[in-house]
């Protein structure tokens, strides 16, 4: 297999960070939601919002780490 170009390396960085930030935002939204099943979906900032953000970022980063390790690429 040929060496990766600098553009390909940059593209994977965009994939990794884009996925991590997206998962983080989704985690923060889920963590800040209150009374969703009661019919009144409101958002309230709390420690759960921060935990959801950090957990989402970590899961998004680990997702690509797993994929790239399975493909035999080092990051």
Could you state, in order of their start, the residue ranges of all structural domains in the chain?
Answer: 11-70
Does residue 7 carry a pLDDT above 90? no
pLDDT band of 42, cuts 50, 70, 90: confident
Structure tokens at 55: 């957990």
pTM of the model: 0.78
Q: What pLDDT does 74 receive?
A: 63
Does residue 2 carry a pLDDT above 70? no
């Amino acid at each position: 297999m040929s060496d990766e170009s600098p553009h390909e390396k940059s593209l994977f960085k965009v994939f990794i960070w884009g996925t991590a930030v997206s998962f983080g935002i989704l985690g923060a939204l889920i963590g800040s939601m209150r009374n969703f099943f009661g019919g009144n979906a409101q958002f309230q900032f709390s420690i759960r919002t921060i935990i959801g953000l950090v957990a989402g970022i970590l899961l998004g980063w680990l997702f690509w780490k797993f994929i790239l390790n399975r493909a035999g690429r080092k990051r």
